[in-house]
Amino acid sequence: MGIKVITEKCTGCELCIKSCPYGAIEVVEKIAVIGDNCNLCGACVEACPKGAILITREKSQRKIPEGYSGVWVFAEQWDGEVAPVVYELLGEGKKLADKLGAELSAVLLGETIEQSAHELISHGADTVYLVEGPALKDFNDDPYTQVLAELILEYKPEIVLCGATSVGRSFMPKVATRLKTGLTADCTGLEIEEKRKLLLQTRPAFGGNIMATIICPENRPQMATVRHKVMAQAKRDETHRGKIIRKNFDGKLTSRTKILKEVQEREETANLAEADIIVSGGRGLGEAKKFGLIREFARELGAAVGASRATVDAGWIPYSHQVGQTGKTVKPKIYIACGISGAIQHLIGMQSSDIIVAINKDPDAPIFKVATYGIVGDLFEVIPEFISRIQKGHL
């Protein structure tokens, strides 16, 4: 196991140095030398034009576990309502299942939620595994982990997908760890490889500066959490038929964590991860109360409210609105940055939005480098003008 440079092939061209995200390569006397902080990520293998870098693994003794088939989608629900990302996963899951010639199933946990199971079937699920009980009403790590892990062991799906939501990213790692299998976080692309029928999982890393494609060749199931708003939602088809398999976990569920209270802090606006449009405010607002203008603008557009780190740190708006490296990564259809200069930490969190609109006084602000449409101007003039045109029915 390890990485090696085939010295006869290496020309000392240094392309590997440029490709290494860890800065682990040097060229000494025209030969690449790989240092201790190499993480075996393989970027240099890809970059080397001579094929001079090899990563070798010990010949695996493991066999691919047998009997695993089908694609599963974890159907996250809140107050009995299925999260929108689930319909995106059913749309994508159907494509994967068709390529594998396999079934698409959903797993639904909650208190009394049979109605939602039919909704999942109308969106393409051939089977819904339904587990109801008071312990499953709201998300709680322990019972959710226990139920999903046991269902997977019993029914052996080949692929398990879940939204990269707070819920998915909290308990899926526990499920994967319990099953000793791989989990790829926050995927933006899924495909089936032709030859071995493996799931190709593509995701951003290093703040979106690089993309990595990841496989889980020898362990089952292959598990991934998937980012919102990337995959197309499954179309609703009431004629689609599927079956519901009820499982009973009464008396078997335990939890070491107890949820004492749930507090909704949702403003009148939608949540950032699910929003089609986000209006974000930055330092250019000048003071806390000016966020009222951003809120009004968002309301008119039916948008969610985002914020730059500077405004959150200044206490103008709660942290849950922060977009960027230490806040949230978002990918709305339209992102409108108002008075945000566009520090790289902010861009990391929003640069994969479909359309970016920037409104800023400074024509040299870095935000204009990524903006689809830019307006160099005073946001206190531009936004009211925009709002008045919406109110007049221009949009």
Partner 1 sequence: MNIIVCIKQVPETAEIRIDEKTNTLVREGVPAIINPFDTYALEEGIRIREKCGGGVTVLTMGPPQAEQALREAIAMGVDSGVLLSDKAFAGSDTLATSYALSRAIRQMGRFDLVICGKQAIDGDTAQVGPGIAEMLGIPFIAYVRKIEEIREGYIRAERLMETGYQIIEMSLPSLITVVKEINEPRLPSLRGMLKAKKTNISVWDVEKLGGDTGRFGLDGSPTQVIRIFTPEPRKGGEILQGAVEEQVAALIERLKETKLV
Contacts of partner 1 in 268-287 (CB under 8 A):
271-274, 276-277
Q: How far apart are CA 327 and CA 349, in angstroms?
A: 8
- Please tell me what DSSP assigns to residue 54: E
- Minimum CB distance to partner 1 smaller for 104 or for 172: 172
- Minimum CB distance to partner 1 smaller for 100 or for 214: 214
Whose CA is closest to 126, among 69, 192, 71? 71
- Please tell me what DSSP assigns to residue 127: E
- Is there a contact between 109 and 171 (Cβ–Cβ < 8 Å)? no
What's the closest the beta carbon of residue 348 comes to partner 1, in angstroms?
Answer: 7
What torsion do the CA atoms of 321, 322, 323, 328 make, to the nearest 10 degrees?
A: -80
Give the interface segment with partner 1, choosing from 12-20, 96-104, 128-136, 238-246 (CB under 8 A): 12-20
**Residue 207, CA atoms < 13 Å, CB-side half-sphere:** 15
- Minimum CB distance to partner 1 smaller for 98 or for 206: 206
Cβ partners under 8 Å of residue 130, min gap 6: 108, 113, 114, 117, 244, 245, 246, 247
- Minimum CB distance to partner 1 smaller for 242 or for 349: 349
Give the interface segment with partner 1, choosing from 90-98, 107-115, 122-130, 174-182 (CB under 8 A): 174-182
Cβ partners under 8 Å of residue 256, min gap 6: 142
- Site residues for partner 1, 48-77, by CB under 8 A, read 55, 57-58
- Site residues for partner 1, 72-131, by CB under 8 A, read 78
Q: How far apart are CA 221 and CA 105, in angstroms?
A: 14
Query: Omega into 318 within 30° of 0, i.e. cis?
Result: no
Residue 377 engages partner 1 in binding (rule: CB under 8 A):
yes
- Site residues for partner 1, 183-212, by CB under 8 A, read 183-186, 200, 204-212
Residues binding partner 1: what is the number (CB under 8 A)?
121
Task: Return the amino acid letter for 180.
Answer: K
Residue 7 engages partner 1 in binding (rule: CB under 8 A):
no
- Site residues for partner 1, 28-47, by CB under 8 A, read 35-43, 46-47
- Site residues for partner 1, 124-163, by CB under 8 A, read 138, 141-142, 145
- Site residues for partner 1, 213-272, by CB under 8 A, read 213-219, 256-266, 271-272
Residue 365 engages partner 1 in binding (rule: CB under 8 A):
no
Residue 299 engages partner 1 in binding (rule: CB under 8 A):
no
Residue 311 engages partner 1 in binding (rule: CB under 8 A):
no
What's the closest the beta carbon of residue 276 comes to partner 1, in angstroms?
Answer: 7
**Binds partner 1 (CB under 8 A): choice among 11, 69, 233, 320:** 320
Residue 15 engages partner 1 in binding (rule: CB under 8 A):
yes
Task: Return the amino acid letter for 57.
Answer: R
Name the burial class of residue 381, with classes exposed (0-12), middle (13-18) and buried (19+) by CB atoms within 10 angstroms of its CB.
Answer: exposed
- Is there a contact between 151 and 70 (Cβ–Cβ < 8 Å)? no
What's the closest the beta carbon of residue 345 comes to partner 1, in angstroms?
Answer: 5
Q: What SS3 state is found at 271?
A: coil
